[in-house]
Amino acid sequence: MAEAETTQADAKTKDKAARRARSARQRAQAARETATEKAAATGRQAPELDAKNDPQAMPSRNLPTDATGNPRGNAQRNHRCAEGCAYTDPDSHILKGGDGWIQGYNCQAAVDGDHQVIVAVRISNQASDASHLLPMVERIVANTGQLPDKLIADAGYCSTGNIETCEQRKLNAYVSTSRQKHGKRPRPSRGPTPRDLDARGRMDRKIRSKAGQAIYDLRKTIVEPVFGQIKAARGLDRFLLRGLEKVNGEQHLIAITHNLRKLHRAALAGA
pLDDT at 83: 45
**Is the model's pLDDT at 237 over the cut of 70?**
yes
Summarised one tens digit per residue, pLDDT across range 238-267 is: 999 999 999 999 999 999 999 999 999 998
What's the residue count for the chain?
A: 271
CB 193 within 8 A of CB 217: no
The pLDDT confidence band at residue 170, using thresholds 50, 70 and 90, is very high
Residue 128 lies in a domain: yes
Summarised one tens digit per residue, pLDDT across range 215-233 is: 999 999 999 999 999 999 9
Residue 220 lies in a domain: yes
φ, ψ of residue 243 in degrees (nearest 5): 100, 140
- What's the domain range around 214? 94-271
Residue 159: how many other CB atoms lie within 10 Å: 19
Residue 45 lies in a domain: no
Extended strands (E) in the chain: 93-97, 100-104, 106-111, 118-124, 151-153, 173-175
Residue 73 lies in a domain: no
Dist. CA 195–CA 5, nearest whole Å: 44
Write the CA distances from 115 to 7, 258, 260, integer angstroms.
62, 11, 12
Dist. CA 218–CA 30, nearest whole Å: 49
Give the mean pLDDT of 201-209.
91
Dist. CA 182–CA 235, nearest whole Å: 25
Our count of domains for the chain comes to 1
Helices and strands in the chain, H and E counts: 8, 6
Task: Tell me whether strands 106-111 and 118-124 are parallel, antiparallel or unpaired.
Answer: antiparallel
Residue 236 lies in a domain: yes
φ, ψ of residue 158 in degrees (nearest 5): -80, 125
Residue 83 lies in a domain: no
The pLDDT confidence band at residue 43, using thresholds 50, 70 and 90, is low
More confident residue, 144 or 20: 144
Residue 37 lies in a domain: no
Give the helix ranges, DSSP H, for 100-198.
Answer: 133-144, 160-168
Write the CA distances from 166 to 155, 170, 202, integer angstroms.
15, 6, 12
Residue 122 lies in a domain: yes
Write the CA distances from 146 to 119, 171, 216, integer angstroms.
11, 11, 21
Give the mean pLDDT of 132-150.
94
Write the CA distances from 237 to 89, 197, 223, integer angstroms.
17, 42, 16
